Amino acid sequence: MALKKNITIQSQVSINTNGWDFIKGNETIDLGDCYIKVETVSGNKENVSYTVSIKSNNNAVKKESYHFTPNMNSDNFIKQAYLHLKTLPEFTDAVDC
């Protein structure tokens, strides 16, 4: 199980010369369809923590950690982690893949 989402990020462009840092400006970078996978899950009936890797088509990788209160009468913790991701603003339009 994994998610897919088109991700665009803002990046600050800077130049370092002779010990001086110059901010050149901001740049928008389209990472395209990114693959989002829950890598680790740990917890108990009160709190579950999980780590997600986000990999772009150009092999850029970012890892993030999240947590939620699980529903003990629902799916396993991994499935609940994916469902939790979809409730977060940054993943609302992510789709199963």
31-81 pLDDT tens trace = 889 999 999 999 999 999 999 999 998 788 899 999 999 999 988 999 999
The total number of structural domains that make up the chain: 1
Q: Residue with structure tokens 């993943």?
A: 91
The helix (run of H) or strand (run of E) holding residue 83 is helix 77-85
* pLDDT score of 34: 94
Say whether pTM exceeds 0.85.
no
Task: Give the structural domain span for 23.
Answer: 3-96
* pLDDT score of 48: 97
40-51 pLDDT tens trace = 999 999 999 999
